[in-house]
Structure 1
Amino acid sequence: MSLNNNLHFLKIIIFLTLKFNIILSQSNCPNLVTCGACIAYADDSCVWCSSESHTGPRCKSKDLAKATWCSENVTEAILSHTILRNDELNSGENGVKIQFTPQTMTIKVRPGLPVDFNMAYRPAKDYPLDVYYVMDYSFTMRAYQNLLQEQGLEIYKELTLLTNNVRLGIGSFVDKPAYPFKSSDNEAYSFKNHLSLTQNMTEFQNVLKDNLFGSNNDDPEGGFDALMQVMLCQDEIGWRENARRIIILSTDNTYHSAGDGKFVGAVKPNDMKCHLEDNNYNMGLDLDYPSVSQINKIATEHNFKIIFAAISSVKDHYEGLVKKIRGAKYVELSKGSNLVTMVKEEYLKLIRSMEINADLPPHIELALSPDCRKEGICIIKHNESITINAKLTVKECPSSDEASEVLVGPVALNEKLKIIVTSDCVCDCERKNTNTNSSKCSGSGKYQCGICTCNENTYGEDCGCTGMTSVDLDKCKLTLTATDYCSGRGTCSCGKCIHCKQGFSGDFCQYDDTACPSPGGKLCAGRGVCRYGKCACAPDITGPGCDCPLTIDTCYAPHSKEMCSGTGNCICGECQCLPMKTSNRTCSGRFCDNCDEFAEKRCLELENYAECNYLYNKTYCDQLHNQTSLTEVKIVDKLDNTLSDQGMAKWCKKELWNGTLIFKYLYPITSPNTLHVIIAKELEQPPEVNLLIAVGVPFGILVLIGLLTIIIWKILVDRLDAREYKNFAEKAAAAGFTVTGIVNPVYRPPATNITNPMFDANL
């Protein structure tokens, strides 16, 4: 066994020894004097001995109780977990849709003891979907009439491929029908419901074609008035209770919001109520436009997904708007836009993302894994189910002995799991009223569970005490030499200390329940209760000061699947970094990832999340990547070197099709548990290429190589000819021939002189 393995084994032994000592020192079971209080103690697993012959404390930690401790009648909390109804998941093939299971169960458990069970969810086929078009019918939208018709039909066709339970509706808006917004040439109105949600596609097509456009004077439109009425008028529009809801608002301009209505005398704030009369909004001149926050409030409360389809010239306005409305999207209104794809994706996201809601009494808590109570955590793939591991814990005994009811189920779905919870806070032997005024209790009390429950005005273990003696007083002293009874903090009654002052406990009121360790300035670190002078910690927490979590979840860096980045141990919820295998260096940081060796690895883990935030928004990206850790994302015009100069930030790059995404990540000193991802707004572009140089240089090199080749060839040929001629001359001379000065007999000079005999040069 290697030295490292020996050290690791030694650490385990030390940890287990400390853990056992903590259990020994912190067990408060012996201080509990009734059977019900013993088995219901939330901070330890206590058992009660009802044997008549038993002496000493009757309550003891189950972990410490030996077989010889109690001869008979040991009582402990009974855990029972029974599923009464568990209909299997059914997508509706036989007409019955069951999307959430189980349906009913009973649980009997003592406080502090968690009960584990599983729940499952699978969306039914043909889950209902309602899509409502809110169209801008101002005059300038006439140019997009055919486009809206085409996209409407295409959306219907695409959605029917996913579900046969889709309904569509149509409404329109122009603006408030009063000056200065109204134009005198055409009709103006705030909102009209042309077609409530229906599956009649023929009627839908006819309404799309039957358009009467109005007009207004200013650029902004009254879309907010229409949007508010569409969301609030549930019955008039025809929204189904459990349907997924999508609203598509198409326009070619910006929008009026709260405050703009004052120009036409609509000074009353929008009351967020339905005001449709004969499918027309009848309060347009009385109520102001809704505010962005009001639109967001109603959309969130009623689970609406809003898609703004607007032309590119107003893109900036709507991209800013969708960031303020939960779940809203913007898509360009154009021939080649992806509106159809976006609607399809939103529907798939709606049926794939599930949230759990739990109706819990104050004394019960429920932990889920994954925690589907948080938005975007539980993503379900198509035709697949998700299993949720649940852990139910009764924190304390309820005020009454009656069973409690817990309802758990998906948001916006009527299917729920009903849990009947009975807290095991009373022993069976305490429910029996036998042995009243038992002789074992001096005829002054009931004998139950091995002890006497005394009648009024009687005290003592056998209820034989009615007054006060010096012997009884001495029993209230912590030590024989003590001068104070009950440590000066309580009342001595029949040899027992009662009514200890607030903040003190124990048989002699000797424990100060405010003197427990206070890590971080909080008593028992705020994660336990100081009892009998010691911290009684919450589940999954240990340590003398409840400052040592047993969970390892906090040792995983955001977007990392390795505990402590694979180079450390998780101790008390914090990473203890170890030397790396490849070197003797030890990384630092909250997750042992603050070193150059891990920069490239962390960049790869974060690059997809950074790209998503660059293209979309953090809320969507957290859902997409199941991100639950503390993460801050910031997009800046230009990345600076301030933080990286301090050795805190690590720079990363990711190649995209249109450039290089630059971002950096760090854990600031002020918030070391929060990952900060800072992204450059502009992509890094490769340097521009000079086409003339790019083409000319290779061509010039090619020509130069050709010329050099010809010159070298010419030189070599001439030298070869000279050498051959020299050899020929030498051989000819050796044979007696002369090759120098000999004229070729067939050679004729190019110039010929002819003398005219009749020419007289002297003339």
Structure 2
Amino acid sequence: MRGLLLAISTLTVLISPGYGQFPGSPVSDYRSGLFVQNPCVSKQTCSECLQTPTCAWCMKEDYTSLDGAPLPRCNQETHFSAQSSSRVQCPIDEVVNPNNVFRVIQNIDLQRASQYHEAVQVQPQHVSLKMRVNEAHNLDFFYEQAQDYPVDLYYLMDLSKSMEDDKEKLSKLGDLLAATMQNITSNFKLGFGSFVDKVVMPYVSTVPKKLEEPCDGCAAPYGYKHHMRLSTDTSTFSGEVKRAQVSGNLDAPEGGFDAIMQAIVCKNEIGWRDKARKLLVFSTDAGFHYAGDGKLGGIVKPNDGFCHLDSKGTYTHSTLQDYPSVSQINHKVKENSVNVIFAVTEEQFDVYNMLQANIEGSSAGTLSADSSNIVELVKAQYQAITSSIEMKDNATGSVRVTYYSSCVGDGPVRQTNKCSGLRVGSRVQFTAKIEVVKCPKDPREWRQKFQIYPVGINESVLVDLEMMCQCECEQPGNPGYMENAPQCSGHGTYMCGICQCPTDFFGRRCECDRENLGFHGDLEAGCRPDNTTTTLCNNRGDCICGKCECYPRENPDEIVSGDYCECDNFSCDRYDGLLCSGPEHGYSACECRATNETCITPYGEHINKLCSGHGSCSCGECKCFETEEGQFSGRFCEECPTCPGKCEELTPCVQCLQFQSGTLADKEDEFGVDLCDKCPFDVIEVEKAEDYVRDDERLCTFIDDDDCRATFVYGYHNSTGQLMVWVQTTKECPVVVDVMGIILGVIGAIVAVGLLLILMWKVFTTIHDRREFARFEKERAMAKWDAGENPIFKSATSTYKNPTYNGKM
């Protein structure tokens, strides 16, 4: 553990203005707008100092000024290299300031292949590099395409029923294909394989009869078969293609990814050579299944990326493992340096053209309906592949590699990792700017190996990298390291000139015992003038064992003193003082300084440069240049309003780090490192980005994946030159038009109007009917009926007589 002294010192720097915000202090807060003049003096250990650019550490045991005041051990390297004895009190052999160390381990000259040796296309082949953080090293290396370089071409063909005529055409063109490639290189090998799909439902019919003959004249279905090993006997190619039988399946996509994976990883079975240009020609007229599709057939085990071919060349795990993913294919392509050529029909070209953009070193070409143009297509794609070169690396997120080259021309060097228009014998020089951007937390990662390689070629520059993240004097067994040292009162470990104290002791020499102090638990009482304040040492010193030790000044002539660091000899008002500081310094016209110190840029990306490299120093002031990029301005010529900014370059990282969107989101490199972690900066969340735009910051905006406008500001830290990015947490999104709501609203309005009209019609009809009925009732009540008798009316009378009756009983 670091001693309590260092903890108190660090805490004082972080939470109080003591070490930077009183007048003339060498350190200040970037956000407060005060520029940091010296980033080194605040570093408390040698390892922290070593990880700060341009800083050096003095490990002298008693490092003090002439008057005995302690001096900051970490300071600018120019401070220790100065010759003035009044300033430098540290012997040069006790200054820890290691430089980057570069050594070439293997450097075989570029050469063509012969019967005595293999071709060499990349030089050098192996280097070692010992580097400090943020101090770049430029590594120059060369690439030259060797004449008559070996070529391995493996033809992988879709043999479903729809490709039957293509198979026949390929068998006839086999000799021509071999002859064409042998005209390009005499060291040529050719092989052949085919594929259909997984033999499970729903990819193929599992009816027993269909498993034997899925279509008329078809062979039994299969996943992938390796028919012909890569061989110089190309005359057998046509025969193998002709003997291969077509088969059939049910769904439209094919199992091509299974075949590609096996054709790449089965190195011994296929016969791939290490020192050869490996071409895998993939021919099909259909789409492809990929990871996850296997679940439709009940296959849930992920593809393991290993070879599974039996003695007959058949893929044995077709029904056991899922299809590979695009990223798995890409990883294996890069690992084995294979160039995949997708030769597909016109209706499938767009799909495979998007696929090749996600597989390194691959390309796509349009195949005719019967594959009659296959020879011209392979030749054209091979020439396109070999006429350009792209350099990449597999460095971790702690290392940044930037490439520069003028390619084959004699123009200016520019930032690029790709050159085109190459011919056999064209030599291209690249410069790789290698930077350690941060020290990994795990010390085991301070030593790394990574490769700088041309895409599709199994050659590389192997870099053994050692990061200088710790001083040697902080490691046991080295000079300057001693446990229970007398310099540390026998309690702590002496390292690099300072003491690392155990838990119960603190102080510069571990002289303070927490249990035996006389302040009754208040360790700070002796560092306050009275009980009316909680400020220790006036924020201008450290409280050590109850006494103030005042901070030293960068200028040894300036001294802070007093029991509570309340006095100094440099804060007096000199505005009306002596002219030119007295007659010994000059009389009038002293406004021009004898040095250029006032023109040295103290902050930003051009720190410690004269006028930021964009102007000249005249009489202590910068006179800015006007270049082709634009007119520079500012006190140190650090600004260029008309120059192109870095908004577009920083946008992908801002999207990924802040909003988890963009091209880098949820993606990993071939080593499983999240691409977000490779971003060379951390974002700072702010409520409003515009508030952080000052003189040397740039405001940037971009449209995110959700069509919302995001805003961020970038600038450079005043002391370290580190890139800083402030991102506004909220995005400005356009008003979303609710189309469905509008449609439903219109429909609702129409229905409502219709219902209203019906209601009005009903009301009017009812009123009209009631009026008519009332009129009828009124007329009926007014009608008069005559109830008199008819004078000619007589009622009918009937008389009955019995002729047999004579009135006697």
Pairwise CA distance, 1:483: 3.6
- Are 1:333 and 2:368 matched, yes or no? yes
Match of 2:40 in 1: 29
User: What is the CA–CA distance in structure 2 between the aligned matches of 1:141 and 1:402, rounded to whole Å?
Assistant: 52
Aligned partner of residue 347 in structure 1, secondary structure: helix
- Are 1:268 and 2:299 matched, yes or no? yes
Match of 1:189 in 2: 221
User: What is the CA–CA distance in structure 2 between the aligned matches of 1:451 and 1:288, rounded to whole Å?
Assistant: 60
User: What is the CA–CA distance in structure 2 between the aligned matches of 1:461 and 1:293, rounded to whole Å?
Assistant: 59
Tell me the TM-score normalised to structure 1 length: 0.52
Q: Structure 2 matches for 1:133-282, cutoff 5 A? A: 133-137=155-159, 143-144=165-166, 147-173=169-195, 178=205, 182-190=214-222, 191-208=224-241, 210-211=242-243, 213-214=245-246, 216=248, 222=254, 224=256, 226-227=259-260, 229-231=262-264, 233-241=266-274, 243-250=276-283, 253-254=285-286, 257=289, 267-268=298-299, 272=303, 274-279=307-312, 281=314
- Are 1:91 and 2:134 matched, yes or no? no
Q: 1:409 to 1:342 in 2, by over 3 A?
A: same
Equivalent of residue 136 in structure 2, options 99, 114, 124:
114
User: Does the aligned pair in 1 maintain the 2:473–2:480 contact within 8 Å?
Assistant: no
Pairwise CA distance, 1:77: 0.4
Pairwise CA distance, 1:566: 5.0
Q: 1:157 to 1:458 in 2, by over 3 A?
A: same
- Are 1:387 and 2:430 matched, yes or no? yes
User: What is the CA–CA distance in structure 2 between the aligned matches of 1:185 and 1:336, rounded to whole Å?
Assistant: 21
Match of 1:609 in 2: none
Match of 1:718 in 2: none
Equivalent of residue 389 in structure 2, options 344, 353, 374:
353
User: What is the CA–CA distance in structure 1 between the aligned matches of 2:276 and 2:403, rounded to whole Å?
Assistant: 26
- In structure 1, give the amino acid aligned to 2:452: G
User: Does the aligned pair in 2 maintain the 1:246–1:306 contact within 8 Å?
Assistant: yes
- Are 1:425 and 2:476 matched, yes or no? no
Match of 2:458 in 1: 413
- In structure 1, give the amino acid aligned to 2:120: I
Match of 2:447 in 1: 404
Aligned partner of residue 432 in structure 2, secondary structure: strand
Q: 1:154 to 1:72 in 2, by over 3 A?
A: same
Pairwise CA distance, 1:170: 1.8
- Are 1:81 and 2:101 matched, yes or no? yes
Post-superposition CA distance 1:361-407 (Å, at most 9, x none): x7x523322499x9973558232233232223363487659972433
Q: 1:43 to 1:541 in 2, by over 3 A?
A: same
Match of 2:641 in 1: 576
- In structure 1, give the amino acid aligned to 2:350: E
User: Does the aligned pair in 1 maintain the 2:278–2:337 contact within 8 Å?
Assistant: yes
User: What is the CA–CA distance in structure 1 between the aligned matches of 2:319 and 2:251, rounded to whole Å?
Assistant: 21
Post-superposition CA distance 1:81-138 (Å, at most 9, x none): 2414241432245514433333444444444433333233334444443222234556
- In structure 2, give the amino acid aligned to 1:48: C
User: What is the CA–CA distance in structure 2 between the aligned matches of 1:456 and 1:588, rounded to whole Å?
Assistant: 50
- In structure 2, give the amino acid aligned to 1:40: L
Aligned partner of residue 235 in structure 2, secondary structure: helix
User: What is the CA–CA distance in structure 1 between the aligned matches of 2:420 and 2:535, rounded to whole Å?
Assistant: 65
Aligned partner of residue 355 in structure 2, secondary structure: coil
User: Does the aligned pair in 2 maintain the 1:126–1:162 contact within 8 Å?
Assistant: yes
Pairwise CA distance, 1:197: 1.3
User: Does the aligned pair in 2 maintain the 1:174–1:188 contact within 8 Å?
Assistant: no
- In structure 1, give the amino acid aligned to 2:50: A
User: What is the CA–CA distance in structure 2 between the aligned matches of 1:464 and 1:285, rounded to whole Å?
Assistant: 73
Pairwise CA distance, 1:670: 3.9
Match of 2:720 in 1: none
Post-superposition CA distance 1:434-486 (Å, at most 9, x none): 99998877787788766677788665456655554679846634999844447
User: What is the CA–CA distance in structure 1 between the aligned matches of 2:89 and 2:292, rounded to whole Å?
Assistant: 84
Match of 1:317 in 2: 348
User: Does the aligned pair in 1 maintain the 2:631–2:642 contact within 8 Å?
Assistant: yes
User: Does the aligned pair in 2 maintain the 1:41–1:111 contact within 8 Å?
Assistant: yes
Pairwise CA distance, 1:182: 0.7
User: What is the CA–CA distance in structure 1 between the aligned matches of 2:449 and 2:613, rounded to whole Å?
Assistant: 28
Instruction: Structure 2 unaligned segments of length 5 or more: list them.
Output: 1-29, 408-414, 550-560, 566-601, 615-625, 649-706, 713-809
User: Does the aligned pair in 2 maintain the 1:126–1:164 contact within 8 Å?
Assistant: yes
- In structure 2, give the amino acid aligned to 1:332: L
Match of 1:15 in 2: none
Aligned partner of residue 131 in structure 1, secondary structure: strand
Q: 1:145 to 1:433 in 2, by over 3 A?
A: closer
Match of 1:69 in 2: 87
User: Does the aligned pair in 1 maintain the 2:630–2:640 contact within 8 Å?
Assistant: no
Q: Structure 2 matches for 1:370-519, cutoff 5 A? A: 370=404, 377=418, 379=420, 381-382=422-423, 383=425, 384-393=427-436, 395-396=438-439, 404-410=447-453, 413=458, 415-421=460-466, 423=468, 425-426=470-471, 431-432=478-479, 460-461=507-508, 465-466=512-513, 467-468=516-517, 473=524, 476-477=527-528, 482-485=533-536, 493-495=544-546
User: Does the aligned pair in 2 maintain the 1:193–1:280 contact within 8 Å?
Assistant: yes
User: What is the CA–CA distance in structure 2 between the aligned matches of 1:25 and 1:294, rounded to whole Å?
Assistant: 45
Equivalent of residue 343 in structure 1, options 370, 374, 378:
378
Post-superposition CA distance 1:675-734 (Å, at most 9, x none): xxxxxxxxxxxxxxxxxxxxxxxxxxxxxxxxxxxxxxxxxxxxxxxxxxxxxxxxxxxx
Tell me the TM-score normalised to structure 2 length: 0.50
Instruction: Structure 1 unaligned segments of length 5 or more: list them.
Output: 1-18, 499-506, 511-536, 552-562, 579-586, 592-667, 674-763
- In structure 2, give the amino acid aligned to 1:390: K
Q: Structure 2 matches for 1:681-760, cutoff 5 A? A: none
User: What is the CA–CA distance in structure 2 between the aligned matches of 1:99 and 1:495, rounded to whole Å?
Assistant: 68
Post-superposition CA distance 1:215-253 (Å, at most 9, x none): 6487958563655543454433333455443333445x5
User: Does the aligned pair in 1 maintain the 2:50–2:57 contact within 8 Å?
Assistant: no
User: Does the aligned pair in 1 maintain the 2:36–2:603 contact within 8 Å?
Assistant: no
Pairwise CA distance, 1:44: 4.6
- In structure 1, give the amino acid aligned to 2:98: I
Q: 1:282 to 1:92 in 2, by over 3 A?
A: closer
User: Does the aligned pair in 2 maintain the 1:29–1:38 contact within 8 Å?
Assistant: no
User: Does the aligned pair in 2 maintain the 1:447–1:453 contact within 8 Å?
Assistant: yes
Match of 2:589 in 1: none
- In structure 2, give the amino acid aligned to 1:540: E
User: Does the aligned pair in 2 maintain the 1:101–1:417 contact within 8 Å?
Assistant: no
Q: Structure 2 matches for 1:281-300, cutoff 5 A? A: 281=314, 286=319, 290=323, 293=326, 300=333
Pairwise CA distance, 1:494: 0.7
Q: 1:97 to 1:109 in 2, by over 3 A?
A: same
- Are 1:366 and 2:384 matched, yes or no? no
Query: Which has the higher mean CA deviation after the structures are superposed, 98-107 or 188-197?
Result: 98-107
- Percentage of pairs with the same residue: 20
Pairwise CA distance, 1:347: 3.0
Aligned partner of residue 193 in structure 2, secondary structure: strand
Q: 1:570 to 1:256 in 2, by over 3 A?
A: same
CA RMSD across the alignment: 5.8
